[in-house]
A and B are shown apart, each in its own frame.
Chain A
Amino acid sequence: MELFQGPTDLFGIAIHHSLTKKVGEDEKYRDFIKSLKERIVIDLDYYPVMIKLTGGAFEVTRNVENPTVIVKINTQDFLNILDAKASIMGLFLKGKMKFKRGFFKILKVYKLFSNLVKN
């Protein structure tokens, strides 16, 4: 039996794991994910990672072609969110989380990530 499925890069694993866990545990979140058809790039300072959301299924990949949303965030700030030392809204308001594409989808992205870190 394979122990591991999904991406094998360090941040891809993290995002894939968090999404899988949240979708598995939270029905509302699962329904929300089903409503999304986006190609969201999280542009970390290490390297960008794309979450492909296709109406319920999701894939996390380092192939970041044709994104509908690009969110730029520093890796340390991303970790600070998980450590409850920073909030998504706070980072956004301080200009530490920037939308390089798809700004009008900000609420969707906010919902995707703010709920994701509430583990």
Chain B
Amino acid sequence: MLQQAEERAVITEKLKEIVGKEWVSDHPEELLVYSYDMTENPAHQPDFVVMPKTVEEISAIVKLANENKIPIIPFVTGSNVGGLTIPLKGGIIVDLKRMDQIIRFDQDDMYVIVEPGVTFGHINKFLKDTKFRYCYPNAPPFTSIMANALLGGLNNLSLKYGNMAEIINGIEAVLPTGEIVKIGSCACWDEHWWGRGSMPDLIGLFVNWQGMTGIVTKIGLQVWPNHPFRDWKFVLSNDFETTYHFVKKLANCEIMNDMLLLSTETVKMVLGVPYGQAVWLAGEPRWATVLDFAANTQKEFGAKLEIVEEAFKEVKKVDPKAVICSVDAAEKMYGPRVGDFKRLPFTIGGMLEYGGHTWVGTYMTSNPKIVSKGVDKAFEVIGKHKFEKCLYTRMMKGGHYWAFRFLLRFSKENPEETERMQKLTKELFESLFELGAMPYKTPVWAADYILKRCDPQYIELMHKIKKTLDPNGIFNPGRWGNE
């Protein structure tokens, strides 16, 4: 935090010279907006907010920050659910919303190049009348597709392709010392962003670093062809392990676009059941599985459906009450909120309306015993702290790993509840970490657990890289053990 008013005034003026006076603010009421997010993570105010339009402006801002050793935090919408853009040490928030161009759409190599401010809503609209699609998380349409990729978020093609970081083709970034760098095949030819190339892969210098190694200004992301036949099925079941094996069996067939397991509480949240009332009631189904599959011909589609139905018969042998229905039937019963699963991106109904929302998102082994144990332990912990057991969970990358995402609502206006949520997220994370789960979009407090367990040589290497790239330690300080 800058102490001297004169010093602040000088920096404000210099920032205005770079981006224009209307795109800089040091007014407390505007800074307040950037000091917190919807999570339980404590707020901290920045000193300045600046909204650049070009990579050159960003480079100039970074150089200014370096000269004055002012922390700098890249920001788009702050909806990462990990407190990742809360400026822990104050400084300059670089709000990238104005950089919202889809620069290229290459249909041959199937990728788009986008700026940081391009959202899931933008890309969805852009691709709507093409033969291609992007992947979507169950996140609001106003979130940045670049941020989600750089933070390794999951999406509705994660079953096939893994987390979003795995679909990055290339990057243009401003390094912490102001230089502009390209990584991937685009480093050789700006007209070719088809992949990471054959050079040492440096994309990882920006993945999961949470803006500690620079500001990514362009990113190449893969898109995929649409298929003319597509449908969704919903399965309601009662036993997690049986449901897991159903999902695993279909994953091994490599025929599904996506499969998503939701606890009954999550379904209720989606349906709009008010905060505090989304609880599982005795006698209800325990799990809902959303199946998304597509095909090029009716015959192929029918064959896939047959495989799904055969796999479901196996479920019925163990779980006779399990049921399956179409998304249309589900919409008849529950209205358009259920059908939103086929209209991604969308904001999960009832998730954001209650002031506070946080999560514990982890990637882990897909070993069924460990996954089941994770569910049991997590539900026990959430129950102990008296919150809703809203779990969204899925198999990743064909079954190579698993994802847990606990979607936790709370009343942020209530200090007791916020404190209770802080205890819950820590305890929930601890119980999963013991089982080998790693949090993604990692909040500071969770990163501490990882660092304690991590190979010391890994940490040293990470710190060396950080020091080399960011000698003054100005980029999003306070994260991953970097002061």
Contacts of A57 in B (CB 8 A): none
Distance of B373 from chain A, by nearest CB (Å): 26
A61 to B104, CA, bound (A): 54
Q: Which of B284, B326, B329, B353 contacts A10 (CB 8 A)?
A: B284
Verify B323–A79 contact, CB threshold 8 A.
Answer: yes
A-contacting residues, B310-330, CB 8 Å:
321, 323-326, 328-329
Contacts of A14 in B (CB 8 A): 333-334
Does B273 interact with chain A (Cβ within 8 Å)? Answer: yes
Distance of B323 from chain A, by nearest CB (Å): 5
Question: Per-residue 0/1 for A34-75: is the Cβ within 8 Å of any B Cβ (1 yes, 0 no)?
Answer: 000000000001110000000000000010000000000001
A2 to B274, CA, bound (A): 7
Verify B271–A13 contact, CB threshold 8 A.
Answer: yes
A72 to B282, CA, bound (A): 19
A75 to B349, CA, bound (A): 25
Verify B271–A83 contact, CB threshold 8 A.
Answer: no
Question: Per-residue 0/1 for A73-103: is the Cβ within 8 Å of any B Cβ (1 yes, 0 no)?
Answer: 0011001101100000000000000000000
Q: Which of A2, A9, A83 contacts B326 (CB 8 A)?
A: A83
B-contacting residues, A1-42, CB 8 Å:
2-4, 8-11, 13-15, 17-18, 21
Verify A83–B323 contact, CB threshold 8 A.
Answer: no
Contacts of A21 in B (CB 8 A): 335
Verify A17–B283 contact, CB threshold 8 A.
Answer: no
Distance of B241 from chain A, by nearest CB (Å): 20
Interface size class of A (residues with CB under 8 A): 20 to 34
Q: Please indicate which of the listed interface residues A11, A76, A80, A117 has the most CB atoms of chain B within 10 Å of its own CB.
A: A76
Verify A17–B335 contact, CB threshold 8 A.
Answer: yes
A-contacting residues, B268-285, CB 8 Å:
268, 271-274, 277-279, 281-285
Verify B278–A8 contact, CB threshold 8 A.
Answer: yes
Distance of B161 from chain A, by nearest CB (Å): 31
Closest to B329 in A: A82
Distance of B379 from chain A, by nearest CB (Å): 17
Contacts of A82 in B (CB 8 A): 325, 328-329, 332-333
A13 to B333, CA, bound (A): 8
Verify B334–A17 contact, CB threshold 8 A.
Answer: yes
Q: Which of A15, A45, A47 contacts B284 (CB 8 A)?
A: A47
Distance of A89 from chain B, by nearest CB (Å): 18
Does B207 interact with chain A (Cβ within 8 Å)? Answer: no
Given contacts A47-B284, A82-B325, contact A10 B350 (CB under 8 A): no
Q: Which of A46, A83, A117 contacts B325 (CB 8 A)?
A: A83
Verify A8–B268 contact, CB threshold 8 A.
Answer: yes
Does B267 interact with chain A (Cβ within 8 Å)? Answer: yes
Interface size class of B (residues with CB under 8 A): 20 to 34
Distance of B346 from chain A, by nearest CB (Å): 15
Q: Please indicate which of the listed interface residues A2, A4, A18, A75 has the most CB atoms of chain B within 10 Å of its own CB.
A: A4
Closest to B279 in A: A8
Verify B284–A117 contact, CB threshold 8 A.
Answer: no
Contacts of B273 in A (CB 8 A): 4, 8, 13
A60 to B283, CA, bound (A): 16
Question: Per-residue 0/1 for B239-277: is the Cβ within 8 Å of any A Cβ (1 yes, 0 no)?
Answer: 000000000000000000000000010011001111001
A82 to B332, CA, bound (A): 7
Question: Per-residue 0/1 for B415-430: is the Cβ within 8 Å of any A Cβ (1 yes, 0 no)?
Answer: 0000000000000000
Verify A45–B272 contact, CB threshold 8 A.
Answer: no
Verify A3–B335 contact, CB threshold 8 A.
Answer: no
Closest to A78 in B: B323
Contacts of A17 in B (CB 8 A): 333-335
Contacts of A46 in B (CB 8 A): 283-285, 321
Contacts of B282 in A (CB 8 A): 47
Contacts of B284 in A (CB 8 A): 9-11, 46-47
Contacts of B278 in A (CB 8 A): 8
A59 to B8, CA, bound (A): 62
Distance of B37 from chain A, by nearest CB (Å): 22
Verify A79–B329 contact, CB threshold 8 A.
Answer: yes
Given contacts A3-B349, A75-B323, contact A83 B283 (CB under 8 A): no
Contacts of B350 in A (CB 8 A): 3-4
Contacts of A4 in B (CB 8 A): 271-274, 350
Closest to B234 in A: A79
A21 to B335, CA, bound (A): 9
Given contacts A17-B335, A75-B323, A119-B332, contact A3 B272 (CB under 8 A): yes
A10 to B326, CA, bound (A): 16
Verify A76–B323 contact, CB threshold 8 A.
Answer: yes
A101 to B333, CA, bound (A): 25
Verify B332–A3 contact, CB threshold 8 A.
Answer: no
A114 to B471, CA, bound (A): 72
Binding site for B on A (CB under 8 A): 2-4, 8-11, 13-15, 17-18, 21, 45-47, 62, 75-76, 79-80, 82-83, 117, 119
- What are 19 A-B contacts with C-beta separation under 8 Å? A3-B349, A4-B273, A8-B268, A8-B273, A8-B279, A10-B264, A10-B267, A10-B284, A13-B271, A14-B334, A18-B332, A46-B284, A47-B283, A47-B284, A75-B236, A80-B325, A83-B328, A83-B329, A119-B332
Supply 6 further A-B pairs (C-beta < 8 A) apart from A10-B284, A13-B333, A46-B285. A9-B281, A13-B268, A13-B273, A15-B333, A46-B284, A79-B329
**4 nearest A-B pairs in the assembled complex, by CB-CB distance:** A47-B283, A14-B333, A82-B329, A79-B325
